Amino acid sequence: MEDQAPDGKKTLTNRQGHQITNNQSQRTVGPRGPATLENYHFLEKITHFDRERIPERVVHARGFVCYGEFEATGMIGDEPASKYTRAKLFQDKGKKTPLAIRFSTVIGGRDSSEVARDPRGFAVKFYTEDGNWDLVGNNLAIFFIRDAIKFPDVIHSLKPDPVTFRQEPNRIFDFMSQTPESMHMLTHLFSPRGVPASYRHMEGFGVNTYKMVNAAGDTVLVKYHFHPRQGIASLTAAEAEKVQGKDFGSASKDLFTAIERGDYPQWDMYVQIMEDHEHPELDWDPLDDTKIWPEKDFPLRHVGVMTLNRNVENFFDENEQIAMGTGVLVDGLDFSDDKMLVGRTFSYSDTQRYRVGTNYLQLPVNRAKNAKVATNYDGGQMSFGRDIAPGQNPHVNYEPSIHDGLQEAQREAPNNPPEIRGRLTRSVLERRNDYVQARGRYCTMMDWERDDLVLNMGTLLGQCERDVQERMVWHFLMVHDDYGTRVGEMLGITAADLKHLAPLPGQVLTDEDQRRLENLG
């Protein structure tokens, strides 16, 4: 198009390619008269503006995307990667796979503070040659609950009150006090790890249990970890308040400016591996995301390095419209029966069809850039093109067909997962052991971390009603005497005040829990 604008600037057009000669005034009858309806430029401009926001994510609304690559070692620890998985991105030493990553906070809205006490999202989209792999993780290794059916409840308790629209500690701890499996996550979240200093200085975890599948179809259970080469850094509540007083977007700014100045952050990626069965020898269940897998029993095995080296060009297109989910796996990686993971897998693409639209996978940031896409999907709101393969008969958008339509892949994909038998049921995992790992975590903290945990917990619980405070102190005493006693001291509650409290309905106590309960009485 010829450049007609003055001073060598580019000519403004609308999205039809029409040049705009007047962008200052609507068309009106006379200078002061009513506007006319055939104001095409004005109507396009204003109606587009009216729709500039899409619904924000129901969780993880505030976040920031950048790009990079994953470089494989070709190994899983000191064994060839192929022993455990046939996923191509892990196979060869030095193999690079481009990726996008979105860091986020969970509870606040799209413009909320980035130094809130909140888990941080750590969601990676690998653009592999076998299609996309999304690993949608957090910076804390565990979660509040172990069954997806409870997710709307835990999130409602953490989100603002439906009447006052304030985040209310009493609502949060009302829920948590009735949810003993949340004690481990709360112990992490209220420790200094609960407010990372920046996105560059935090770990990443897949949290849920996945599987790897090798060429023979044999499966193992797997957990994913990322360790920052920059080190881990956190803020105390007082430090976070200072940052927040000046800047709600400190973590995005830190990441963006580091990448702009060429200071590319890196994470080592590790996996933990377990044989694919129930592991009756453990006193917790490998499918329980409120538990870590102790590293002494299930060592970290290095698989590669992630480097982030490019910023987004447009926040909306690449951050608001990126869509990741736990269902997006490639050949050689699989789901486990982790009850959170199956629920998540439905939820992500469901919300994305609503939040972004039916054809969200056609957007540049979401499409499988490094794999061929050939589908029979057709139409839908905002469709921009069918996924037609070279040589495909465009009239055939169904399968099977004998007229040059798409066909199923002809390769064998062996998969020998264990056979499972059972009755349909609604039940809780048997091996709950809700306090043991929270106790382990409390014991391994340094003194200053424990001080910070108790201070943070006591301060927020100080805003709660007495019955909620009492039940929370009861749980902390079940975790560890010192933990419960110290939080109790901040609230004026002693073990003797809690004699009237029995275990929660349905709560299963281990022998150790029982012993602690008797001491408490």
Q: What is the closest distance, in whole angstroms, from the C-beta atom of residue 156 to ligand HEM in the complex? A: 12
Whole-angstrom Cα distance, residue 158 to residue 27?
49
Quote the least distance from Cβ 189 to ligand HEM, whole Å. 13
Nearer to ligand HEM, 142 or 406 (CB): 142
Question: Does 60 participate in binding ligand HEM (rule CB under 6 A)?
Answer: yes
Instruction: Tell me which of 187, 347, 366, 469 binds ligand HEM, using CB under 6 A.
Output: 347
∠ CA 499-501-507, rounded to 5°: 135
Provide the annotated active-site residues: 60, 138
Paired tokens of 73: 């070692």
Q: State in angstroms the smallest separation of the CB of 440 from ligand HEM.
A: 20
Q: Which of 474, 478, 483 is nearest to 452 (CA)?
A: 483
Q: Are 393 and 405 in contact (CB under 8 A)?
A: yes
Binding mask 387-426 for ligand HEM (x = CB under 6 A): ----------------------------------------
Residue 361 found at the interface with ligand HEM (CB under 6 A): no
327 is a contact residue toward ligand HEM (CB under 6 A): no
Region near ligand HEM per CB under 6 A, out of 90-98, 278-286, 298-306, 338-346: 338-346
Q: Is 159 in the site for ligand HEM (CB under 6 A)?
A: no
Quick check: 54 binds ligand HEM (CB under 6 A)? no
The nearest distance, CB 450 to ligand HEM, in angstroms, is: 25
CB under 6 A: which stretch of 27-35, 53-61, 236-244, 504-512 binds ligand HEM? Answer: 53-61
Under the binding rule (CB under 6 A), the answer on residue 151 touching ligand HEM is yes
DSSP per-residue codes, 144-183: S-SSGGGHHHHHHHHSPPTTT-S--HHHHHHHHHT-GGGH
Taking residues 10 to 49 in sequence order and writing x for each that binds ligand HEM by CB under 6 A, - otherwise, the string is ----------------------------------------
Candidate residues 90, 133, 143, 435; the one interacting with ligand HEM per rule CB under 6 A: 143
- Stated as kind and residue range, the H or E segment containing 121 is strand 120-128
Among 249, 343, 405, 503, binds ligand HEM (CB under 6 A): 343
Are the beta carbons of 435 and 481 closer than 8 angstroms?
A: no
Q: Does 441 bind ligand HEM (CB under 6 A)?
A: no
* CA 403 – CA 348 distance, rounded (Å): 36
Decide: 227 and 268 in contact? Cβ < 8 Å: yes
Q: Closest separation between CB of residue 62 and ligand HEM, Å?
A: 10
Report the nearest approach of ligand HEM to the CB of residue 146 (Å): 9
Collapsed DSSP state (helix, strand, coil) of residue 13: strand
Q: Tell me the closest approach of the beta carbon of residue 410 to ligand HEM, in angstroms.
A: 34
Q: Please choose, out of 134-142, 182-190, 305-313, 456-464, the segment that lies near ligand HEM by the rule CB under 6 A.
A: 134-142
E strand map for 258-367: 266-275, 301-311, 333-335
Q: Report if residue 290 touches ligand HEM, rule: CB under 6 A.
A: no
Residue 73 within binding range of ligand HEM, rule CB under 6 A: no
Q: Which stretch binds ligand HEM (CB under 6 A): 270-278, 316-324, 362-370, 496-504?
A: 316-324
Q: Using the rule CB under 6 A, which residue among 68, 108, 131, 137 binds ligand HEM?
A: 137
Rule CB under 6 A: is residue 353 a binding residue for ligand HEM?
no
Q: Return d(Cα 200, Cα 266) in angstroms, integer.
A: 8
DSSP string computed for 41-104 = HHHHHHHHHHT---PPPSSS-SEEEEEEEEEE-SEETTEEGGGT---GGGTSTT-EEEEEEEEE
By CB under 6 A, tell whether 188 contacts ligand HEM.
Answer: no
CB of 448 to ligand HEM, least distance (A): 27
Q: Is 509 helix (H, G, I), strand (E, B) or coil?
A: coil
Least distance between ligand HEM and beta carbon 22 (Å): 39
Comparing CA positions, the residue from 57, 290, 337 lying closest to residue 176 is 290
> To the nearest whole angstrom, how small is the minimum distance from the Cβ of residue 515 to ligand HEM?
32
The answer to whether residues 304 and 71 touch, using CB atoms and an 8 Å cutoff, is yes
Q: At what angle do helices 466-479 and 447-461 cross, to 10 degrees?
A: 160
Which position among 73, 105, 128, 138 is part of the footprint of ligand HEM (CB under 6 A)?
138
| CA-to-CA separations, 133 to 182, 266, 270, 361, 399, in angstroms, rounded | 29, 19, 16, 13, 25
| CB within 8 Å of 507: residues ≥ 6 apart | 180
The letter for the amino acid at 438 is A
Task: Candidates 12, 35, 54, 58: give the one binding ligand HEM (CB under 6 A).
Answer: 58
Q: What residues form DSSP beta bridges with 226? A: 204, 269
Q: Which of 452, 450, 500, 448 is nearest to 480 (CA)?
A: 450
**The one segment of 58-66, 236-244, 262-270, 371-379 that binds ligand HEM by CB under 6 A:** 58-66
Place of tokens 């200071």: 263
Using Cβ positions, the residue closest to ligand HEM within the complex turns out to be: 121
Instruction: Looking at 301-410, list the stretches that DSSP marks H as alpha helix, in order from N- to C-terminal side.
Output: 315, 339-355
| Candidate list 69, 95, 115, 121; residue touching ligand HEM; CB under 6 A | 121
Answer for which of 303, 340, 478, 491 binds ligand HEM (CB under 6 A) is 340
Query: Which residues in this chain contact ligand HEM in the complex, by CB under 6 A?
Result: 57-60, 63, 102, 104, 121, 123, 136-138, 143, 148, 151, 207, 289, 322-324, 340, 343-344, 347-348, 351-352, 355
